[in-house]
């Protein structure tokens, strides 16, 4: 368990004085620990999984055989009572058989026959144990149980029992199992490797440089401290990938006119991080339409729980997330769920999906590093909700950038080539100057440049 990296999950240390002070570990030590965990040999893993399956098969045999064992014990018990009754009655009424004695004997026969049915059924199940999709899930759980947070084990076992006993609700329980068994949070991750032998400091500097370069295409006069917020949180995210005890980045709220590249920036940033830290992070582009999609409930996982599960399935160290079109943050019915979801604690994920603990609190899971962006066209009206984010006033593209974008789209157009349309920078500039401010964005230009130039005569 220690070598697999899940010993603390399987055997939690209750005495806090015995816990290793992780906060004093250096980045180098965390990288070494990750590398050591990734050196578990395939033979060791195969032996561990074989032992897990052996325990499962023993438990399954016991579960299948137990009804037959219980039936045999009951049959012996009742038969003994009936036989004793017959003997006693025969002794008391020596020469005269009684109806009571006959009834007792008949009852013994029926008891043996009734319980014998259960014995035969149990013996059949042991000999030909059920082989179905639930059995496959049970084997998956047996092999991966140590990686799944132990707080979820009771709910998983309960779901297995319910799936086998209640055919009417089996689909619901199987869906729960399929989702929850993917939360292998303690599975060893591949050691993080930086491209071109870069250091953590090099990676952060390179990302800062690329962010600065990206926004040279934008109007810097309205940017203020927004770029600094982005760079600070990206640096915190990189540190957290290496050392989970590092401060987590804050949520970032990108607001600005539609079509000016908010989503494109986050997608580009995720690509940069994946390039500099190959196979290190997962990217999620999400849209939320309802409260239960955001926060989750007893029957539906919330947005961050889904991200966490996807991250675990891909065995990544962290995730870059953008929740787009978030106009619902100003919807009165969504404000309270949003406050509970964006609660500021990026080290723990509380969810109703797994029920409640003994004290009535929701189940909490450790949350690996996530760099979370939320994007919308409007500012957040609720001050308390807004305070949970680093608010990024996303700048407008510069005039030169929009001209270049329009020219590039025009040059790529097969329609304009077939029409032998003639255009130059002056024509494009004149068109942009005629547009309303609300249309000075990449999306509108890409959708309308062809129609405008087709109407222009050479």
What CATH number should be reported for the domain holding residue 259? 3.40.50.300
Q: Are 4 and 46 in contact (CB under 8 A)?
A: no
Task: Say if residue 163 is in the same domain as residue 220.
Answer: no
Residue 163's pLDDT is: 82
Task: Say if residue 261 is in the same domain as residue 389.
Answer: yes
Q: Which residues of 22-61 are buried (b: 16+ CB within 10 A; e: fewer)?
A: eeeeeeeebbeebeebeeeeeeeeeebeeebeeebeeebe
Task: Say if residue 136 is in the same domain as residue 232.
Answer: no
Q: Are 108 and 99 in contact (CB under 8 A)?
A: no
Domain stop point among 150, 180, 210: 180
Task: Say if residue 107 is in the same domain as residue 251.
Answer: no
- With respect to residue 33, please indicate whether it lies within any of the assigned structural domains: no
Mean pLDDT of 211-223: 84
Task: Say if residue 86 is in the same domain as residue 130.
Answer: yes
Task: Say if residue 307 is in the same domain as residue 322.
Answer: yes
The two three-digit tokens of residue 327, written as one number: 């106009």
Q: Which domain holds residue 432?
A: 399-454
Domain stop point among 122, 154, 180: 180
Q: Tell which wins on pLDDT, 83 or 238.
A: 238
Distance CA 305, CA 341 (A): 11
Residue 275 in this model has a pLDDT that exceeds 90: yes
**Would you give the distance in Å from CA 438 to the centre of its chain?**
37
What is the number of structural domains in the chain? 3
Task: Say if residue 250 is in the same domain as residue 373.
Answer: yes
Residue 109's pLDDT is: 61
- With respect to residue 426, please indicate whether it lies within any of the assigned structural domains: yes
Task: Say if residue 234 is in the same domain as residue 377.
Answer: yes
Instruction: Provide the pLDDT confidence category of residue 296 given band limits of 50, 70 and 90.
Output: confident
Q: Tell which wins on pLDDT, 334 or 114.
A: 334
Measuring CA to CA, which residue among 99, 45, 109 is closest to residue 75?
Answer: 109
Residue 411's pLDDT is: 92
Mean pLDDT of 107-120: 62
Residue 107's pLDDT is: 61
pLDDT tens for 422-448 read 888 899 999 999 999 989 999 999 999
Instruction: Provide the pLDDT confidence category of residue 23 given band limits of 50, 70 and 90.
Output: very low
In the block, tokens 């009852």 appear at 107
Residue 21 in this model has a pLDDT that exceeds 50: no
> Which ranges of 14-41 would DSSP assign to H, the alpha helix?
27-37
Specify the DSSP element, H or E, that contains 26: none
Instruction: Provide the pLDDT confidence category of residue 115 given band limits of 50, 70 and 90.
Output: low
- With respect to residue 164, please indicate whether it lies within any of the assigned structural domains: yes
Residue 400's pLDDT is: 92
Task: Say if residue 235 is in the same domain as residue 336.
Answer: yes
- With respect to residue 22, please indicate whether it lies within any of the assigned structural domains: no
Query: Whole-prediction pTM value?
Result: 0.78
- With respect to residue 372, please indicate whether it lies within any of the assigned structural domains: yes
Weakest mean pLDDT among 355-364, 380-389, 431-440: 355-364
- With respect to residue 161, please indicate whether it lies within any of the assigned structural domains: yes
Instruction: Provide the pLDDT confidence category of residue 28 given band limits of 50, 70 and 90.
Output: very low
Residue 19's pLDDT is: 35
Task: Say if residue 202 is in the same domain as residue 266.
Answer: yes
Task: Say if residue 97 is in the same domain as residue 149.
Answer: yes
Domain stop point among 366, 393, 420: 393
Instruction: Provide the pLDDT confidence category of residue 307 given band limits of 50, 70 and 90.
Output: very high
Cα→Cα distances 181→140, 153, 315, Å: 8, 10, 14
- With respect to residue 205, please indicate whether it lies within any of the assigned structural domains: yes
- With respect to residue 12, please indicate whether it lies within any of the assigned structural domains: no
Distance CA 226, CA 232 (A): 10
Cα→Cα distances 85→104, 113, 140, 224, Å: 7, 19, 52, 96
pLDDT tens for 180-194 read 999 998 888 777 889
Residue 34 in this model has a pLDDT that exceeds 50: no
Task: Say if residue 373 is in the same domain as residue 405.
Answer: no
């Amino acid at each position: 368990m220690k070598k697999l990296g899940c010993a603390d999950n399987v055997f939690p240390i209750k005495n806090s004085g015995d816990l290793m002070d992780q906060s004093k570990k250096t980045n180098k030590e965390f990288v070494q620990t990750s590398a050591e965990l990734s050196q578990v040999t395939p033979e060791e893993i195969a032996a561990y999984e074989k032992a897990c399956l052996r325990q499962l098969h023993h438990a399954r045999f016991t579960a299948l055989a137990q009804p037959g064992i219980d039936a045999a014990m009951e049959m012996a018990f009742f038969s003994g009572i009936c036989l004793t009754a017959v003997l006693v009655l025969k002794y008391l009424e020596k020469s005269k058989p009684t109806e009571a004695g006959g009834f007792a004997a008949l009852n013994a026969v029926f008891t043996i026959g009734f319980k014998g049915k259960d014995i035969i059924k149990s013996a059949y199940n042991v000999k030909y144990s059920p082989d179905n999709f639930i059995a496959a899930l049970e084997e998956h759980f047996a092999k991966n149980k140590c990686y799944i947070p132990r707080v979820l084990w009771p709910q998983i076992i309960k779901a297995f029992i319910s799936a086998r006993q209640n055919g009417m609700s089996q689909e619901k329980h199987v869906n729960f199992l399929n989702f929850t068994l993917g939360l292998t949070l303690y599975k060893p991750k591949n050691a993080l490797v930086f491209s071109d032998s870069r250091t953590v400091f090099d990676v952060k500097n390179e990302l800062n440089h690329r962010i600065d370069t990206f926004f040279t295409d934008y109007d810097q006069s309205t940017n203020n401290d927004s770029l600094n917020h982005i760079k600070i949180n990206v640096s915190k995210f990189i540190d957290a990938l290496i050392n989970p005890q590092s401060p987590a980045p804050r949520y970032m709220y990108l607001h600005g006119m539609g079509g000016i590249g908010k989503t494109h920036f986050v997608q580009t940033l995720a690509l940069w991080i994946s390039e500099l830290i190959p196979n290190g992070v997962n990217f999620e582009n999400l849209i939320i339409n309802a409260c239960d999609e955001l926060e989750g409930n007893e029957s539906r996982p919330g947005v961050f729980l889904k991200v966490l599960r996807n991250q675990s399935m891909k065995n990544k160290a962290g995730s870059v997330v953008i929740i787009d079109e978030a106009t619902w943050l100003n919807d009165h019915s969504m404000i309270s769920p949003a406050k509970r979801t964006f609660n500021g604690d990026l080290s723990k994920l509380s969810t109703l999906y797994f029920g409640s603990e003994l004290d009535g609190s929701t189940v909490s899971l450790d949350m690996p590093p996530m760099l979370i962006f939320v994007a919308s066209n409007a500012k957040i009206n609720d001050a308390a909700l807004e305070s949970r984010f680093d608010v990024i006033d996303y700048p407008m593209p510069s005039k030169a950038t929009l001209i270049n974008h329009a020219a590039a789209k025009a040059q790529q157009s097969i329609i304009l080539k077939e029409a032998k349309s003639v255009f130059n920078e002056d024509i494009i500039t004149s068109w942009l100057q005629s547009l309303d401010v609300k249309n000075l964005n990449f999306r509108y230009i890409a959708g309308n440049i062809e129609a405008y130039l087709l109407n222009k005569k050479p």
